[in-house]
Amino acid sequence: MTAKRVTFKLNGVTLEAPEGQLVIEAAKAAGVEIPHYCYHPALGNPGNCRLCVVEVAGAPKPMVSCRTQVREGLEVYTDSEPARRAQASSLELHLVNHPLDCPVCDQSGECGLQDYYMKFGRYDSQVREAKEHKRKRLEIGPHVMLDQERCVLCTRCTRFTEKITKTSELGIFGRGHKEFVDLAPGQRLDNAYSGNTVDLCPVGALTDKDFRFKVRVWYLDQTPSICADCSRGCNVSLHTNTKRPWHDEGRRLARVKPRHNPEVNQWWLCDEGRYGFKKFDEDRLGRVMRLIPYRRELAWETALDELASELRRELEALGPEGLAVVASGALSNEDWAAFKAFFVDALGCKRFLFAPQPDQLGIEDDLLRRKEKVPNLEGGKALGFGSAVASLSWERLEADLEAGKIWGLYLIERDAARFWGAKASALLSKPRLVVWQGPWKGRTGELAHFRLPATAHIEEDGHFTNFEGRIQAYQKALEPLGQARPDWSIFEGLRQRLGAAQKAAR
Ligand code: SF4
Ligand code: SF4
């Protein structure tokens, strides 16, 4: 049932909102920011930080806006003198024991205490007593560090582990000014979503082990993207550092943060997706190579000419039945379209294998993670590359290779050699032509005739279709490494060459 809409006044302006909506949310919808720490739409409104206090006409004292509901005729002031005074004194209480170590704190530049002090605080401190000291630099899990002194006891992190992951590793202990956040006895913050606690922490109490002390946040650029580590397609923001040299040589991505999408990932990311980005700088293919009959680097034009002419020769001699194509769902929708135009329409290829290798399926859960660890099998299915078109299984491919039925094997990002282990060299020595295409070297990349470097999705614009059929765009955050180019442009380059040759032959 849709809530009845009522009129109320915010800072003297008459507005409409659903009856019963929290004032803090109604104000946000109207573009008015009310400072807050403990309130979070997914985690509830305990009202313990007292920072979102506002003046309500007729009320004897300031009210917390995360627990006050909109009703007909309500009159709220967020920026009146009494409201400002109440917010500033709440803020001062939060800072009584805070160490104020901003120059060495990683949260600096995106800290709720710093920001709110400048916007809503700006008081002269009346506190003269010594600060309460608590424990610092605690490694509480594989990804998260805790500084108890910086904590404002908002309980967002503890509520996240209670309500969202239901793992309850964190709790608030002690009483009064000696209260502190800590691990529950015998626990570690090692659930599959632990990095979200860092996003939720409004101050520098929880920081990211991987990101701390790497770069100041104001040097980072942000690019909207999609996580490609499973078929959920969580919305992410890629933070890149191109303005300051890195201490970690070769690292181009600073961190990955979630983008709120209520339909896909809400506010969250799993740790696998959040911390998996180092692969974009590891074991990458940068050069176009011909490895067999002898090893040499090639310009793209030469490689495409040579490969197109070998494909044409074998197709004319042996037909398309002996060409097998193995592809992963890492291709974008744009790549899939070019894939179809090349392999199906131009080459007449009929033997495809899209299934992941059995050891590539991962863990699935009720929150976000999906078993299929590639982003876009659905984009291929939409073009007809579903299981009906996949005429090969891994067992059948192996058997056909051994029987010499396959003259050409074109592998796109499925590292068959790693899966085949000790048998890989023998199996891949059977076809006359083996092509390895993708962003990473993989083991297959060492055994192929041609090695074609493709861009990773963070280096191009494109679209993925997630497991629910939702088409989502991603943008280029970084320049391609070396000679890498998008998969679609490689397929298109080959298709044009084969098409031109076919026309000339007619
Ligand atoms: S560690 Fe951060 S999120 Fe957790 S209670 Fe303290 S301030 Fe809140
Ligand atoms: S659930 Fe999947 S898409 Fe989302 S962050 Fe994790 S790996 Fe990435």
Express each pLDDT in 83-97 by its tens digit. Answer: 999 999 898 888 888
pLDDT at residue 96 in the model? 83
pLDDT at residue 121 in the model? 75
Residue 250: pLDDT over 70: no
pLDDT at residue 136 in the model? 94
Helices and strands in the chain: count of H runs, count of E runs? 14, 22
Structure confidence by residue, pLDDT tens digits, 128-171? 778 889 999 999 999 999 999 999 999 999 999 999 999 999 99
Rounded CA separation 207/201 (Å): 8
> Ligand 2 pocket: which of 237, 264, 269, 366 to mutate (most atoms <8 Å of CB)?
269
Across the beta sheet with 235-240, the strand order is: 221-226, 235-240, 253-258
> Ligand 1 pocket: which of 152, 169, 179 to mutate (most atoms <8 Å of CB)?
152
* Ligand 1 pocket residues where CB is under 6 Å: 151-157, 181, 200-201, 203, 205-206
Which helix or strand (DSSP H or E) is residue 55 part of? strand 53-56
Which residue has the CA at smallest separation from atom 8 of ligand 1?
154
Residue 209: pLDDT over 70: yes
pLDDT at residue 246 in the model? 66
Is 230 a pocket residue for ligand 2 (Cβ < 6 Å)? Answer: yes
Please give the distance, rounded to the nearest whole angstrom, from the Cα atom of residue 373 to the centre of ligand 2. 9
Ligand nearest to the CA of 376: 2
Residue located via tokens 């009159």: 75
Please give the distance, rounded to the nearest whole angstrom, from the Cα atom of residue 236 to the centre of ligand 1. 23
Residue 249: pLDDT over 70: no
Is 229 a pocket residue for ligand 2 (Cβ < 6 Å)? Answer: yes
Is 257 a pocket residue for ligand 2 (Cβ < 6 Å)? Answer: no
> Ligand 2 pocket: which of 143, 165, 230, 260 to mutate (most atoms <8 Å of CB)?
230
Is 269 a pocket residue for ligand 2 (Cβ < 6 Å)? Answer: yes
CA Rg, the chain, in Å? 28
Over range 342-352, report the average pLDDT: 93
Residue 504: pLDDT over 60: no
Rounded CA separation 183/197 (Å): 13
Structure confidence by residue, pLDDT tens digits, 183-200? 999 999 999 999 999 999
Among 132-141, 397-406, 433-442, 491-500, whose mean pLDDT is lowest? 491-500
pLDDT at residue 247 in the model? 62
Domains (range + CATH), the chain: 5-95 (3.10.20.740), 127-213 (3.30.70.20), 289-505 (3.40.50.740)
pLDDT at residue 488 in the model? 98
Please give the distance, rounded to the nearest whole angstrom, from the Cα atom of residue 408 to the centre of ligand 2. 34
Please give the distance, rounded to the nearest whole angstrom, from the Cα atom of residue 148 to the centre of ligand 1. 8
pLDDT at residue 244 in the model? 75
Can you give the pTM of this predicted structure?
A: 0.91
Which residue has the CA at smallest separation from atom 1 of ligand 2?
369
Over range 212-230, report the average pLDDT: 94
Give backbone dihedrals phi and psi of 76, rounded to 5 degrees, phi first.
-120, 140
pLDDT at residue 76 in the model? 98
pLDDT at residue 505 in the model? 47
Percent of the chain exceeding pLDDT 70 equals 96
Residue 120: pLDDT over 90: no
pLDDT greater at residue 243 or residue 67: 67
Which residue has the CA at smallest separation from atom 8 of ligand 2?
273
CB 83 within 8 A of CB 62: yes
pLDDT at residue 119 in the model? 84
Whole-number mean pLDDT of the chain?
A: 93
pLDDT at residue 502 in the model? 57
Which residue has the CA at smallest separation from atom 2 of ligand 2?
230
Question: Which of the four pLDDT bands, split at 50, 70 and 90, describes residue 506?
Answer: very low
Residue 384: pLDDT over 90: no
Question: Which of the four pLDDT bands, split at 50, 70 and 90, describes residue 396?
Answer: very high
Q: What is the DSSP string of 430-482?
A: SSSEEEEEESB-TTHHHH-SEEEEB--GGGS-EEEE-TTS-EEEE---SPPST
Is 226 a pocket residue for ligand 2 (Cβ < 6 Å)? Answer: no
Dihedral-angle region of residue 404 (phi above 0 means left; psi in -120 to 50 means alpha; beta otherwise): left
Give backbone dihedrals phi and psi of 238, rounded to 5 degrees, phi first.
-90, 125
Please give the distance, rounded to the nearest whole angstrom, from the Cα atom of residue 284 to the centre of ligand 2. 22
CB 93 within 8 A of CB 131: no
pLDDT at residue 503 in the model? 47
Over range 463-487, report the average pLDDT: 97
pLDDT at residue 193 in the model? 98
Please give the distance, rounded to the nearest whole angstrom, from the Cα atom of residue 150 to the centre of ligand 2. 30
Is 195 a pocket residue for ligand 2 (Cβ < 6 Å)? Answer: no
Atom of ligand 2 nearest to the CA of 270: 6
Which residue has the CA at smallest separation from atom 4 of ligand 1?
157
pLDDT at residue 92 in the model? 86
Please give the distance, rounded to the nearest whole angstrom, from the Cα atom of residue 261 to the centre of ligand 2. 13
Rounded CA separation 456/440 (Å): 9
